[in-house]
Amino acid sequence: MRDVLRSPFVAALLGGLVVAAALIGYDQVRDPDTRTVVEQAPLRSGAPANTSSTADGQSTAGLTPRQIYERDAPGVVLIRAQVVQRSDSPFDLFGPQQQDESTGTGFVIDDDGTILTNAHVVEGAVRVSVQFEDDRLVDGRVIGKDLSTDLALVRVEPDKVELSPLRLGVSKDVKVGDPTVAIGNPFGLERTLTTGVVSALQRQIKGLDDFTIDNVIQTDAPINPGNSGGPLIDAAGRVIGVNSQIQTAQGGTGSVGIGFAVPIDTAKEVIPQLKSKGRVDRAWIGLTTVTVTPSIAKLGLDVERGALIQTVEPGSPAERARMRGGDVQAQVGQDPVLLGGDVIVDIGGTPVRSTEDVATAVSTRKPGENVSVTVVRDGLRVKVRVKLSQRPSVVTQG
């Protein structure tokens, strides 16, 4: 079961603890008056060390969890969102019955008072409050949301609080095994730090509108409900992701060591539009596909690679271009597949070998843009012209 995260400093390097224990025992035998001081080792990634220094004079080659916490925790905030709950009773003519409060995390990204968080933290909120390190609580205003990436921006008046923007890293450079630090407010426990590593890359999770979020970072740093919107930080103290979801055991709600963070590179792409428009404009073609595998190709397809169209959304650009979906159900292993539809092999001059290629080709274009799509239909290569439209808010892939 995968849960969206809605609702004391622990850091230990096992090797360091074993050595420290051995040293302490040795000192006690040799000289009872000798006192051993154990210091935290800096976190290290597999990347070459960058020995440059930050504005506060600290090296970015590798910081200890304590240094990261002291530097970045002041920029991590607790977000309180009041959500109106409506009654389902047919006798309730006046709508709102009560206001519930949900909590999450966010972090400051600039000196203008802009805070990055998850969209699900503030979704449906009628009022947002932001609590800073000094316990000062100020009003926040949601200036933009993107349900497809589960990201949102909240703004506070910069002259009312002391702002400590976090440094943004580059998530495409992250490798499996790199150390991570998560700072957030699990279960309302403010500014909690946990440590771990990057467990996997290229994961996919669903946004609030059921569109897929790609290139997600998986970490084993313990995160729980309330960590939503908080930063996932690398060994140099830079944000590499926004903690968003966790995998839980059946019937559970807590961490089992599998957390997912929206990559900061994705956030960098949407932040400018969220600031200027309050939303992200995305192109939409209106169809679903499956990747043509050797097993699928053997079912009478005339191609070995491509994206086989499964469904075409009524009224979509794909339907207006008379693209065809499948109408004959088949079974490939455990998965049902619809046969008889067009196989997309090229979009805008770029070969298509998978359903991911279709999503990438569409996402890099703008609503209203015309694109040439080559499909294989009844053994023939056919070119169709598709005018992409604005992605709707309803759940439809493509």
| Residues with Cβ within 8 Å of residue 56, at least 6 apart in sequence | 71
Q: Which amino acid is at 77?
A: V
Amino acid at 142: V
Structure tokens at 41: 């080792």
Instruction: Tell me whether residue 33 is one of the annotated catalytic residues.
Output: no
| Catalytic choice (72, 120, 199, 357) | 120
Positive or negative CA dihedral for 373, 205, 77, 220? Answer: negative
| From 45, 199, 228, 389, the catalytic residue | 228
Tokens 């609030």 locate to 208
Its sign, for the CA torsion 115, 118, 124, 125, is: negative
Give the single-character DSSP code of 187. Answer: G
- Residue-level length of the chain: 398
**Distance from C-alpha of 122 to C-alpha of 146, rounded to nearest angstrom:** 11
Whether 363 is a known active-site residue: answer no
Residue of 72, 146, 150, 220 with catalytic role: 150
Contacts of 343 by beta carbon, 8 Å cutoff, 6+ apart:
292, 301, 302, 303, 306, 307, 308, 309, 375, 376, 377
Which token pair is 146? Answer: 């993107």
Give the Cα separation of 4 and 209 in Å (integer). Answer: 13
Structure tokens at 161: 């609080």
Known active-site residue 171: no
What residues are annotated to the active site? 120, 150, 228
